[in-house]
Amino acid sequence: MKTDSLADEVKGMNLKIIRRKIKNKLAGYCSAEILARKATSNDENNPSTELKAELARLTRDHVKMLKIMKVVKKRLDDLKRPQHVHKAIKLVDYLCRYGGKGVIEVTNDWHCIISCLADYKFDMESNYFKQRISNAAQELLQKLQVWRGRNILTYAQLLIDSEGESQSSCKSFGVKSVGE
């Protein structure tokens, strides 16, 4: 029976971890979503590099990437828990650098959300997290502009290549040909 295996699984764990495991089971989250929730949890500890690397690897599968990004977007919108938001921004940054190509496309669609977080105003009461959120979002926006520029150059190279023009014409766009 599934409840017995869940009971065995939670023995010796603290209440917070038990609650998270039960919530994951009841909500029917897949393993990719559970990892994304773990990486953006409200815990004080930052997610491990191994966890982020596993999520980056999973984003190479389009379906899993969409599920991961759905969880991350939920966390970005969770202003009641600034730790969720900050970890989500940092995770998006990592996934854009090391994950599948679709991550940057999805993240570009969130430009408005990230811009709002970059302009996040903070009061003295919760200054620390809100300032970290604002700074992290500003850094992510700057990186997205660079990545977007690289994607435009790559797209220009594809257009030129598909028209049958020489690789040397790509250099005028600042794009290196394959093997350079």
Q: Please report, for the chain, the start and end positions of each structural domain, with discontinuous segments joined by +.
A: 30-158
Please state, in angstroms and rounded to a whole number, the distance separating the CA atoms of residues 180 and 10: 54
Q: What is the pTM of this model?
A: 0.71
H helices of the chain, where? 2-10, 15-27, 31-39, 49-58, 62-76, 82-98, 101-109, 111-118, 127-162
Please choose, from the candidates 96, 91, 99, the residue with its C-alpha nearest in 3D space to the C-alpha of residue 150: 96
CATH number for domain 30-158, candidates 3.40.50.300, 1.25.40.90, 1.10.579.10, 3.40.80.10? 1.25.40.90
pLDDT tens digits, residue range 17-69?
888 888 889 999 999 999 999 999 988 888 999 999 999 999 999 999 999 99
Task: Look at the block and give the residue holding tokens 């023995």.
Answer: 11
Look at residue 133 in the predicted model and tell me its pLDDT.
87
* DSSP reduced 3-state for 71: helix
pLDDT tens digits, residue range 124-146?
555 677 788 888 998 998 888 88
